[in-house]
Structure 1
């Protein structure tokens, strides 16, 4: 090394008697610096405010924005216009989630910023924590609390934590505790304080990441039905009687003739009015009206607007007319018996319903005012009314069931099977809810007499539906288990025939309530991960305010010491000599470069006299270089 202009830099170490020289540790030793160029309280509060803002505001804003979007665009259950038309796909089917009218990708993107920012903001939290911790280090130094102070290596670990190497610092600390074994000295209070703050920040940051990942996994885009009430004139799903033809009389033949009205049948010619509509309805070919029995009670049939013309996105509450028919076999009571090879005779109630039934003839049938077929109707009935029918079938060579063994079934072995049924028919005023194509509710009350006479006179005085009734009996005789099972199957078929005859006497009227379903894509956001993410974010915010409050309460000395608890402070202490020990209102003013610019010394690395490597200060004076080292 050059020696002619070498300037030795002597590092002065003061071995102070901490037990006896309290004055040596106060500003009384340096009265000229007691209030000169100190870091001001204003600067301290500005730095605390800046670090607090960077820690708190991003998480607070992101949390508020996320909640604002979730609750601002939430589709709530009370948006449903009609409670009775609430279906499986209606709003609010999952009480543990929010349905948000936004793309789920957008919400996930917004939440992902939280998990990205949380680890980045850890350094600001540790900077705030450094104020009170640095103040305690200063106090421990003054009070000579040797065991609470840091070893040089612990200072290294502390600097890692303070200067932003959060994960690296934790890993180094783990290696220090585990790898050094018995060589580890008692951890200084400052290191443990920084460690606790760092662990809290890391745990909260990890929980933010975990909650955000959970929210990513479970938040999905789903199709949700949005419901809106329909104007009455756009939902003509109810059926009412033709006005005034079917609404101003009791609709018996005599009353229709007296008022010169035609409801279902012309009273003068007994011709079926609107017969085409009736036949189309009976054979499921009508685009207007159909007969259904898809309600909760399948024994009730009702007239409804044909599914061909019904909009599948409409739900409604409608009124209409229906029928409930119950039948039972009375073959024994009527004395049904075989008189010849293909003829069976019967007599019910002293000839009121009597005659012969043959394989080729029209089915004997009649309408009565009682359930025993003892008194015929006189061109009109009350509600309910009664119906009886006798039938003869050619039997199958290999019958499906043992129906022939029933006492109410009369047979001629290997040839014929005969039965007589009587049925109670009740016309009903129906109200039903159709939701998503399914009947979810159906209520019925007996109709008045005028409604019953819309259907019965046309059934009694025309041949409408005879072939359908015969076919229904024929099919039932093959598959029924016994006579009562045959009667039950026939009852359903009869209701369909009887209701179809009145299809031409119906007009469309507005539904009682109607709504339209439109499927929209929404984000389904489960509540649990959403609120977990919010709570953790707010915990970070609260921690930021607590640390800021603690930092603001510290002394100015704590601020000075905190500024030295940085890489800049340590470097200045090593290489700037006396300048590093002087007061300064900012840490950068501890460096000669701040004052001298390019004239400042330079730092290099060289071999030491002991064979290792050390940092050296190189001063440039004129054209020669002097080397100064600390070894």
Structure 2
């Protein structure tokens, strides 16, 4: 008989042990699933976002150092902060992907935070149950919670922001630290709630705001260069031909003709599809005009060599005429004298060997090139020059303007960089005398005088003789370059890079990594919290106590005292068997007034009669 009892007792213990092991396994499995599924989903979404960005990232080529244009960056603190908030910072990844899709993927991870928040609440319930259990067993009465503190604790575990706010208000009103597990629960839930429900959503929204489509420039270095935008002499022996004239001029029977005259005059009138004279301003009084390529555009950045000319003119009308009334004669030097009324052409140019204008030449192999230009212009509305000594009036019938300018043109060998359709650097070296001969050779051609007429018409619309001198100087620089193209050919660019526009999505680096880091910290924090709970809070032992930190647990404890020692289901509507459901249905809860105060009461039906018991 004793042996039979021992056998039955042993089997009962084994069944209890197996039951405890199964319950322990279920507890740990519940915790693992509660943190694994949301954390894994959140990590997967964040990893998917990182993968898309780096897989579709486009590296923008900075291009050649010599062909980089510097921009202005404002250093005002307010502007810097404002620009940072709007743009997300100057550093960014550029991705070939739809920006709205990126923002949607990034925000998808944030939608999993509420599930992780409930996991944190459940873990903290284990912590609270274990803490109260230990304090109860060790009789630490001064650390046990008051009913109000227990209410605050339950509010923290079930009410989210509202429970956290109630706890803070209670702490402020009480003016002392929290007792028992309240401090730990409040601290953890405050950190995770602020991080998960405030900071991460704000950064998520900011990330979606700064991720925008932008048109970016992609540079591709062409090595070797493929375009011929530079200019150089057509031949190394372009000093003289058999007649002694420059190689861009041919002399037949004492008359000079331009080589490539058709192209030269197209360039002069800005109608050429090959060559173009461009203007480059400087800080100095003189400006440069240089010979470029008509095909130059913002699509190609390059560094090239060419020729440039700078011309200065000064009015000498007063020195030549002394402004004698009704006297149209002028006498500047023995080599420059005549009568405005009897000139063969109303405009003209004469080349000289020096700035004193004492020796007239058909062309000269020297640099600078000196010349004089004159003009006679009939204009009845020219009141701006009445008191200007640089302009002479010499007719009684029609208001006729006359002027003489002493000019010099200097030729340079130039190297310039062209970036995004603009000259960013321009370096010059004084050219040798050969270039002076090439530039001065076309002066003996009558077509120069004809072309000068257009400049005279424009110059006469100025307000002073200084305006006339400036306009004429610019035209003469244009003219000597244009009429010299017969001796000039194209040269390959020194360096070159092509420029194209591509539509990309701009992903600022700071918001991107900030968002990923915060989400990683959030997930790692939850995993660490779960590990700590599983190691130090003994979830197997306090699993039954944890169920008391719910509305079901509180109500069941108050109104079902006969079952206080039985583990409660997480859902009070799901009981273990039909008998429990029947007993629960017989117990009712009433709210009655007792001694001027409202109190809860239980109503139990026994033999058809109601038995009321105040709680």
TM class by smaller structure? 0.7 to 0.9
Distance 1:610 1:82 in 2: 88
**CA shift for structure 1 position 387:** 1.4
**CA shift for structure 1 position 495:** 0.8
**CA shift for structure 1 position 466:** 0.9
Equivalent residue number for residue 119 of structure 1: 114
Alpha-carbon contact 2:241-2:247 (below 8 Å) kept: no
Higher relative contact order (CA 8 A, sep 6+): 1
Pairwise CA RMSD = 4.3
Q: Which runs of 5+ in 1 are unaligned?
A: 1-30, 257-261
Equivalent residue number for residue 406 of structure 2: 422
Equivalent residue number for residue 469 of structure 1: 452
Equivalent residue number for residue 318 of structure 1: 304
**CA shift for structure 1 position 424:** 1.7
Distance 2:349 2:65 in 1: 46
Mapping 1:184-333, distance limit 5 Å = 188-205=179-196, 206-230=198-222, 234-242=226-234, 246-251=235-240, 254-255=243-244, 263-268=247-252, 270-296=256-282, 299-306=287-294, 309-331=295-317
Indicate yes or no: 2:99 matched with 1:104: yes
Equivalent residue number for residue 7 of structure 2: none
Equivalent residue number for residue 166 of structure 1: 160
1:381 corresponds, among 361, 365, 369, to 365
Task: Indicate the larger mover: 165-174 or 199-208.
Answer: 165-174
The TM-score with structure 1 as length reference comes to 0.76
SS of residue in 2 equivalent to 1:382: coil
Indicate yes or no: 2:352 matched with 1:368: yes
**CA shift for structure 1 position 213:** 1.9
The TM-score with structure 2 as length reference comes to 0.78
SS of residue in 2 equivalent to 1:270: strand
SS of residue in 2 equivalent to 1:539: helix
Distance 1:580 1:589 in 2: 16
Equivalent residue number for residue 9 of structure 2: none
1:273-300 CA-to-partner distances (Å, cap 9, x unmatched) read 2211111111122222221114556721
**How many residue pairs were aligned?**
569
**CA shift for structure 1 position 301:** 0.7
**CA shift for structure 1 position 320:** 2.0
Alpha-carbon contact 1:118-1:208 (below 8 Å) kept: no
**CA shift for structure 1 position 253:** 6.5
Q: From the superposition, tell whether residues 625 and 457 of structure 1 become closer, same or farther in structure 2 (CA, over 3 Å).
A: farther
Q: From the superposition, tell whether residues 364 and 212 of structure 1 become closer, same or farther in structure 2 (CA, over 3 Å).
A: closer
Q: Which runs of 5+ in 2 are unaligned?
A: 1-12, 73-82, 594-598
Indicate yes or no: 2:131 matched with 1:136: yes
Distance 1:171 1:34 in 2: 44
Distance 1:185 1:618 in 2: 47
1:346 corresponds, among 310, 326, 331, to 331
Alpha-carbon contact 1:291-1:499 (below 8 Å) kept: yes
Distance 1:263 1:443 in 2: 26
Equivalent residue number for residue 4 of structure 1: none
1:456-515 CA-to-partner distances (Å, cap 9, x unmatched) read 1122x2112212324424542441424x44322211111111111123444333322333
Q: From the superposition, tell whether residues 217 and 284 of structure 1 become closer, same or farther in structure 2 (CA, over 3 Å).
A: same
Equivalent residue number for residue 9 of structure 1: none
SS of residue in 1 equivalent to 2:447: coil
Distance 1:527 1:561 in 2: 48
Alpha-carbon contact 2:442-2:483 (below 8 Å) kept: yes
1:521-580 CA-to-partner distances (Å, cap 9, x unmatched) read 223334554444334323323422441342133153654455434547667767998887
**CA shift for structure 1 position 224:** 1.7
Equivalent residue number for residue 419 of structure 2: 435
SS of residue in 2 equivalent to 1:553: helix
SS of residue in 2 equivalent to 1:278: helix
SS of residue in 2 equivalent to 1:240: strand
1:510 corresponds, among 488, 492, 502, to 492
Equivalent residue number for residue 554 of structure 1: 536
